Amino acid sequence: IFRYALEGARGAPLTLRVKLIDAKTATTRYERVYNMPDGAKYPFLAHKSIVELTNELNLPPVGWMEKFIILAKYTSARQSSIIVADYTLTYQKTIVSGGLNIFPKWAGADQSKFYYTSYVNNRPTLFRYDLNSGTKTKIIDSMGMLIASDVSKDGSKILLTMAPKDQPDIFIYNTGSKKLTQITNYPGIDVNGNFVDNDSRIVFVSDRLGYPNIFATPATSGGSVEQMVFHGKNNNSVSTFENYVVYSSREASGGFNIYLISTQTDFIRQLTANGKNNYPRFSSDGQSVVFIKELGGQSSLGVVRLNENRSFQFPLKVGKIQSIDW
């Protein structure tokens, strides 16, 4: 039997008391008290209690529930805000607003900083925002296009999509030396680079076959390019975790579904079944995939639990999601 008592209110400190009772013996097996100074973050109080209870019962870990999701959502024409939320979108806090602020990307596993693109005098500019200090720092700007699509495990390298000469290519920016290295040089479209295989390779989207598909190349300039996906005619977004790749693929029906593959085997698994499912992102532990789902005119945040083979959707009630990271 699981019992809980919540004291406090939104905008005030909260205390959550939880207790697990053995129904057969009527003895208390587990008991915890959680305190949170900011009542507005009450969903995280619930998430934390479930994470620790799951660990106590030796069930599969669900630490991902405590992680923030960062997203950009459109608020009006050429206006979008960057928001930090819990995975159910019950808690939402606007961090950056005013103008077009898009493609947020966490700078590290601790989720204390993130990168995002904004426009300064109509020029795409990459900023790093520090959540602890509330300050932002300009990293780099470029004509055409500028998106931070992934960050190396140690945080020292950022994968960028840039189009300084009109055609987008994949670049690596070293945050220490501030050196920019061009990885691909193709007279077409190369976008959305993601590190894979212990940061030794880069998976990206390209139109090299005349339609968007998934390819891989070494994380060095001038390496050979390998096709990763051999089905579908529009595989337009991708994310990676260790040796695994998730991507969205357009079906003959016109919908988009998300698939999971491995760089080490011919393994392939379909994760979604209906609607338009795009922008997949792995959780930090690789056990879940978050994505944007559009069905019946509603934009929602979807979560797939890979080991349990279950999925959930959480509607975004205000605004349309532009991009997400977990």
Answer with the one of 56, 78, 94 that is the final residue of a domain. 56
Whether 61 is in a domain gets the answer no
Which residues in the chain come in under a pLDDT of 50? Answer: none
| pTM, to two decimals | 0.90
Whether 210 is in a domain gets the answer yes
The CATH number of the domain holding residue 151 is 2.120.10.30
116 and 149 in one domain? yes
Amino acid present at 122: N
What's the rounded Cα separation, in Å, for the pair 255 and 273?
9
Buried/exposed 217-244: b ≥16 CB within 10 Å, e otherwise: bebeeeeebeebbeebeebbbbbbbeeb
273 and 249 in one domain? yes
123 and 8 in one domain? no
42 and 135 in one domain? no
74 and 40 in one domain? no
88 and 15 in one domain? no
| Residue 35 C-alpha from the chain's centroid | 28
42 and 104 in one domain? no
- Going by C-alpha positions, the residue among 302, 286, 283 that lies closest to residue 294 is 302
For 234, the domain range is: 67-325
Answer with the one of 33, 56, 79 that is the final residue of a domain. 56
Whether 87 is in a domain gets the answer yes
Whether 255 is in a domain gets the answer yes
109 and 27 in one domain? no
305 and 189 in one domain? yes
**Which neighbouring-strand residues pair with 72?**
82, 323
179 and 121 in one domain? yes
Whether 84 is in a domain gets the answer yes
What pLDDT, on the 0 to 100 scale, is given for residue 318? 57
313 and 226 in one domain? yes
124 and 46 in one domain? no
Please, how many CA atoms are within 13 Å of residue 104, restricted to the half-sphere of its CB?
32
Whether 6 is in a domain gets the answer yes
Q: What's the number of domains the chain is made of?
A: 2
Whether 260 is in a domain gets the answer yes
- What is the 3-class SS of the chain, one letter each residue? CEEEEEEECCCCCEEEEEEEECCCCCCEEEEEEEEECCHHHHHHHHHHHHHHHHHHCCCCCCHHHHCCEEEEEEEECCEEEEEEECCCCCCEEEEECCCEEEEEEECCCCCCEEEEEEEECCEEEEEEEECCCCEEEEEEECCCCEEEEEECCCCCEEEEEECCCCCCEEEEEECCCCCEEECCCCCCCEEEEEEECCCCEEEEEECCCCCCEEEEEECCCCCCCEECCCCCCCCCEEEEECCEEEEEEECCCCCEEEEEEECCCCCEEECCCCCEEEEEEECCCCCEEEEEEEECCEEEEEEEECCCCEEEEEECCCCEEEEEEC
Whether 62 is in a domain gets the answer no
